[in-house]
Structure 1
Amino acid sequence: VLCDGDETLLRLVSTELVVGEALGTVPDGTPTVPLEADLRAQIKTLRLKQQALERTVDLDLRTDGGLARSRLLHRLRLLGIGWGRLTDSQVRNTGTFRETWTLRWRPELAIAIVEASRWGTTLQSAAEAKILDIAQDPDATVGKVASALEEALLAELGGATDRLIRRLESVAALDHDVTHLMSALPGLLRIARYGDVRGTDSAALTRVADSLLLRSCAGLPGAVTGLDADAAAALRAHIDAVHLALSARDDEWATGTWLHTLETLADRDDVNGAIVGRAVRLLCDAERIGGEESGRRLSAALSVGRTAPDKAAWIDGFLGGRGLLLVHDRNLLSLIDNWLRGLDEDQFLPTLPLLRRTFGAFESGERQAIGQAVRHGAPTVSTTGGAGYDTTRGALAMAAAAEILGVAR
């Protein structure tokens, strides 16, 4: 009756009128658990306010105040006290010296503080005890321990870092699953980059990361055999993550070792096309193979002897959500266009979903540029003498291709 059935207005009335947003306070001398007393002292020192209204703060980790606030919020998050959550910054930057947090204090967090007090009497000791308990789980994987180590470094838990590194080394030595090793590697390389900002010692992290890289490169050629589409997609995501992390690290030995492994994958014909296509694309981006060689490999992948879904998987791995390659390299676009035009109905129908997913991942501008290139006849279409064409079926195929590429008709 009051809100005409509008639940949004009803929630607004309930939040502001029935519940309210004002927070009360208790005297400083009120008995409380030691963990809450430590939290109050740090909040007062850092000049933070416990407010019910949501607000966003940008922290500069190059300053003592910003680093201390970040340390406090990371420790609270580790203990399950969700006062703040990391969010995307409105300031455009790619460095590691800035963090953006959204803060909102809720009354029920007082209960979370009492629950977290079983781990210790101060935020640092409690966070260290909890992170070590997580890492000591007998079923902990390499990725789980690496994530715990990353959280410990972000929260500057110096008392737990060395033990976590030793735990990571022991778990990694017993784990023979390549996907587990590769999932942990990007995180280790990422947290090693925090050394300059947070003053952490990255030598031990680099040693563990190099060990994981060597074992990943040794096991990857055997792990890519006999994969179905879903397993190949999952492994491709791990390959992308490792490649991106190594590119950011910019270490000649590590990059060379990784690219050599990708070269062995690109030369095999018994591996899922999505993996081979991705290996060729990454090698092309790293300038280990040229544009002419990548075109030759694409032409070979689209040759007779492979099924249409296999060819589509190769293209999906090669393009991988980035259509600028087809915008600038008309030879590759011509190869794909000629292959697509040559598919009969029995081949086109099972290939269409994968191609649609491939081109759908492109930016709108990329799809339009590719569609215009095809429409204006930039790619040349090879024809054979005496071949007959069904214009009606051709029009249907062109309409489907235009819809895939996002071309306005």
Structure 2
Amino acid sequence: MPERIYGIRHHGPGSARAVVRELTANPPEVLLIEGPPEADDLVRWVADGGLEPPVALLGYAVDDPGRAAFWPFAVFSPEWQAIRWAVRHGVRVRFFDLPYAYRVAPGAGTGPVAPSPTAGDLGGAALNRTVLGRSALSGSALNRAALNKAALSGATPAAMIEPDPDEQVEPALDEPPLRPVDPIGELAAAAGYDDPERWWEDVVEHRGVPVFEAIAEAMTAIRETSPEDPDDLLREAYMRSVLREERRRHEEIAVVCGAWHVPALTRKVAVKDDTALLKGRPKGKVAFTWVPWTYGRLASWSGYGAGVRSPGWYHHLFTTGDDVVVRWLVDAAGVLRAEGVPTSSAHVIEAARLAEALATLRGRPLAGLAEVTEAAEAVMCDGEPLRAELIARRLVVGERLGSVPDDMPAMPLVRDLTAQQRSLRLKPAATERDLDLDLRQDNDLRRSRLLHRLGVLAVPWGQRAATRRGAGTFREEWRLLWQPEFAVRLVEGSMWGTTVASAATARVARRARDATTLAEVTELVELCLLADLADAYPPVLAALDTRAALDADVHHLMAAIPALARTLRYGDVRRTDVAGLATVTASLLGRVCAALPSAAGSLSDEAARQLRDGMDGVHRAVGLLADDSLRERWLGTIASLAARPGLHGLPAGRLTRLLLDAGRLDGAEVRRRLRLPLTVGTPPAHAAAWVEGFLSGGGLLLVHDEALLSLVDDWLADIPADAFDSVLPLLRRTFGGFDSGERRAVGERVAGGRAASADTAAAIDAERAAAPLTTLGALLGRRLTGTKGTA
């Protein structure tokens, strides 16, 4: 036959070198690559220096962009190197796998297609999706193809073991679900290798055997006893039809495909059989483009079916000419130094010697990843697993992110995002990056808006981090990490608009119309502020009016107010027009004030806790509004509620504390109210709940108000012994909520005898003062002794 078929292992540097060597020695007229034929027009971009791997072909259904698939390439991928060779030498390239249009046709399945063995076929589905039963792996085919061929395994006759004829193999149906395997990996395992690429390097390339002929023979032997995958049969029928077509046009043809397909392409199959298999199958409309990829997503642990365990190591093997081991260890030393771990050149030299010694002991011609990893961990990491994991993440897997040319055709939404990333100096990266924004700066404010808008479009490039500066209004802290799958999200987002702002606006407006709860709408109100979506305010406010009018649950109403208050308070900071929102917020607060008295009656402990938390949120929100009339209305409502007899202790105590902090109650009145639940005859559980409500929010009040601390101290000392066991868990929960510094300060106050009234100068009765120490020690988690300190 005129064609030369090169069966490769996807993402294998040894395969990549072998393919380039063969193409150079036997230049073809046309190059056929296993991949989606709809992407043929994108091959020319490989010549553009802006297309830098790792990259991937992204294919998606035009009418349903969520149905998409990736075909990733690394610099060490044999397909990528073959395409680059062809482009440089003016050889036509044609993808000849089954068209992706068949996969997205009506009835072909629904939902997104992740980079897995059923997608990303150029990346290796042919190999990794192949199902081999246990009987096939233990049978004579594998032994004949791998173990009994010294050219492939390099094994001695002692390793050539035939299966036991009496061995009982369970039927496949009785086994767990068959896992996808890599046939080349199985050949390597049969030869005693745990790394297929290392097997290829050591046994095939270094020994100079006829690589592709030997691999084709091995794959033929394996497929003789392996179950056929219907999807593979369909794909291979299409491949053969393309190959027949090219034979009529050219004499010299090169084919680069997964080794698993080689036997199918060389097999004699009638044209009518392939035609019948392909005839009448529907097609969908698809589009393709190049997108950046990452080595993290190329790794097998990410779920990518054709992934490799060590893409960073493979990159190093392929791009480094001499001194592979030493250069790798130098890079590892740089990683450790960047994290403050002292690593000298002596460490590198000693680790290199150890790696070479390990390779010699194991009978390998060169040190591989296993040897350099063990050497680095022993010599450079001092056996610390975390340091070894750091090297693995940075170097073995790698943090490389590819790029695509700026002038490559793309959807308007993607072009708009790219332009904004460039103008805002926010370059996507495959590594986490912390970003501290000062919203008073124009550029930082625009960055914040972009990140929030992308969040609306389900592209969480940035995640909000807890600020280290408290509740500041001008600061935002983000953690950025770009993921390749965001490309699909952007394709899906294109249905909402041609720019990030217009798409986010349309998406928020649609969510407002579809919202069924008040909480959903209030979240959108704040989102409009954060993302500066002024055009989305009218539909959102209309939905807010509707949901607020229909919702009579006071807890829902209280939960809605904080977000509205933040929007009103910080609208000026973000230069956002929030006109019309103040009226809605005032109306909601009025409804809350009217509904609270009836909602506060006959509360269970859980309901009391929910009411307390809701009132806390509203109280903070009212403080943000800076509206005296609303503040007075709210304080009047909670003042009336706090004085109501029969109110559950938790909200009663909390409201008393809020009124004290707001200046509506003085110290004398608070002490009077505190004595009421602490008097003899009051159920201890009610008293404990009252104290918990009053003290929730921190223990600084007890530290600075000696009179209140004295009241609590006296009440604890007066609790009857038979009631103390029921009160202790509640009080321990209250004091356990304080910061450790606050608990320590309270303990020092009590232990030092300074809990007495500031107006009393009399000496402390040591016996009397020691009485509550045991109780307070149990509450504070410390052992209190004497009257002058702790032990």
TM-score (norm 2): 0.48
User: Comparing 344-353 with 271-280, which one deviates more in the overlay?
Assistant: 344-353
- Letter of the 2:778 counterpart: E
The alignment status of 1:123 with 2:487, answered yes or no, reads: no
Decide which of 452, 457, 460 is 1:79's aligned counterpart.
457
Decide which of 662, 673, 676 is 1:286's aligned counterpart.
662
Decide which of 35, 39, 47 is 2:425's aligned counterpart.
47
Check conservation: 1:368, 1:406, Cα contact below 8 A: no
Alignment partner, residue 97 of structure 1: 474
Secondary structure, aligned partner of 2:493: helix
Decide which of 33, 36, 39 is 2:411's aligned counterpart.
33
The alignment status of 1:136 with 2:513, answered yes or no, reads: yes
- Letter of the 1:356 counterpart: R
In 2, distance between residues paired with 1:306 and 1:169? 45
Check conservation: 2:525, 2:563, Cα contact below 8 A: no
- Letter of the 2:486 counterpart: L
Alpha-carbon distance, 1:94 to partner? 4.5
In 1, distance between residues paired with 2:644 and 2:394? 64
Decide which of 644, 649, 655 is 1:268's aligned counterpart.
644
Alpha-carbon distance, 1:370 to partner? 2.2
Distance 1:51 1:233, change over 3 A: same
In 1, distance between residues paired with 2:561 and 2:706? 36
Alignment partner, residue 776 of structure 2: 401
The alignment status of 1:314 with 2:690, answered yes or no, reads: yes
In 2, distance between residues paired with 1:144 and 1:159? 18
Check conservation: 1:321, 1:359, Cα contact below 8 A: no
- Letter of the 2:513 counterpart: Q
In 1, distance between residues paired with 2:723 and 2:455? 52
In 2, distance between residues paired with 1:89 and 1:333? 33
Secondary structure, aligned partner of 2:552: coil
Alpha-carbon distance, 1:241 to partner? 1.4
In 2, distance between residues paired with 1:216 and 1:170? 17
Secondary structure, aligned partner of 2:405: coil
Superimposed CA distance per residue, residues 248-276 of structure 1 (whole angstroms, 9 cap, x where no aligned partner): 32221011000001111111122210101
Alignment of 1:183-332 (within 5 A): 183-332=559-708
Superimposed CA distance per residue, residues 54-112 of structure 1 (whole angstroms, 9 cap, x where no aligned partner): 2222222223222211111110112111111122345x365422222221222222222
The alignment status of 1:343 with 2:732, answered yes or no, reads: no
User: Comparing 70-79 with 355-364, which one deviates more in the overlay?
Assistant: 355-364
Secondary structure, aligned partner of 2:494: helix
- Letter of the 1:318 counterpart: F
Distance 1:308 1:194, change over 3 A: same
Alignment partner, residue 484 of structure 2: 107
Alpha-carbon distance, 1:364 to partner? 2.8
Alignment of 1:16-27 (within 5 A): 16-27=394-405
Check conservation: 2:512, 2:539, Cα contact below 8 A: no
Secondary structure, aligned partner of 2:645: coil
Alpha-carbon distance, 1:14 to partner? 4.4
Alpha-carbon distance, 1:317 to partner? 0.5
- Letter of the 2:572 counterpart: D
Superimposed CA distance per residue, residues 315-367 of structure 1 (whole angstroms, 9 cap, x where no aligned partner): 01111132222223222222221221122333111111111111122233332
In 1, distance between residues paired with 2:681 and 2:655? 21
Secondary structure, aligned partner of 1:258: helix
Check conservation: 2:601, 2:647, Cα contact below 8 A: yes
Check conservation: 2:561, 2:588, Cα contact below 8 A: yes
Secondary structure, aligned partner of 2:435: strand
Distance 1:363 1:18, change over 3 A: closer
In 1, distance between residues paired with 2:705 and 2:494? 61
In 1, distance between residues paired with 2:730 and 2:470? 34
Alignment partner, residue 148 of structure 1: 524
User: Comparing 316-325 with 116-125, which one deviates more in the overlay?
Assistant: 116-125
Superimposed CA distance per residue, residues 367-395 of structure 1 (whole angstroms, 9 cap, x where no aligned partner): 233223323444469xxxxxxxxx9xx97
User: Comparing 20-29 with 142-151, which one deviates more in the overlay?
Assistant: 20-29
Check conservation: 1:281, 1:319, Cα contact below 8 A: yes
Check conservation: 1:76, 1:123, Cα contact below 8 A: yes
Check conservation: 1:371, 1:406, Cα contact below 8 A: no
Alpha-carbon distance, 1:9 to partner? 5.4
Larger Rg: 2
Distance 1:111 1:277, change over 3 A: same
Decide which of 429, 436, 451 is 1:58's aligned counterpart.
436
Alignment partner, residue 368 of structure 1: 744
Check conservation: 1:364, 1:406, Cα contact below 8 A: no
Alpha-carbon distance, 1:13 to partner? 4.7
Alpha-carbon distance, 1:11 to partner? 4.5
In 2, distance between residues paired with 1:239 and 1:204? 24
- Letter of the 2:625 counterpart: R
Alpha-carbon distance, 1:285 to partner? 0.9
Alpha-carbon distance, 1:165 to partner? 1.0
Unaligned runs of 5+ in 1: 382-390
In 2, distance between residues paired with 1:161 and 1:151? 10
In 1, distance between residues paired with 2:604 and 2:389? 48
The alignment status of 1:88 with 2:463, answered yes or no, reads: no
In 1, distance between residues paired with 2:432 and 2:752? 52
Alpha-carbon distance, 1:287 to partner? 1.1
Alpha-carbon distance, 1:7 to partner? 6.6
Alpha-carbon distance, 1:10 to partner? 6.2
Check conservation: 2:751, 2:773, Cα contact below 8 A: no
**Structure with the bigger percentage of strand:** 2
Alignment partner, residue 133 of structure 2: none
User: Comparing 181-190 with 104-113, which one deviates more in the overlay?
Assistant: 104-113
In 2, distance between residues paired with 1:337 and 1:160? 56
Regions of 4+ moved over 6 Å: 3-7
In 2, distance between residues paired with 1:248 and 1:261? 18
Check conservation: 2:706, 2:756, Cα contact below 8 A: no
Alpha-carbon distance, 1:23 to partner? 1.3
Check conservation: 2:462, 2:481, Cα contact below 8 A: yes
Superimposed CA distance per residue, residues 120-172 of structure 1 (whole angstroms, 9 cap, x where no aligned partner): 32211221222122222252x22221111111121111221111011101110
- Letter of the 1:179 counterpart: H
Alpha-carbon distance, 1:240 to partner? 1.1
Alignment partner, residue 154 of structure 2: none
Give me the CA root mean square deviation: 2.4
In 2, distance between residues paired with 1:95 and 1:181? 26
Secondary structure, aligned partner of 1:57: strand
- Letter of the 1:44 counterpart: R
Secondary structure, aligned partner of 1:365: helix
- Letter of the 1:51 counterpart: A
Secondary structure, aligned partner of 2:421: helix
Q: What is the percentage of aligned positions where both structures have the same residue? A: 48
Alpha-carbon distance, 1:297 to partner? 0.5
In 1, distance between residues paired with 2:526 and 2:656? 32
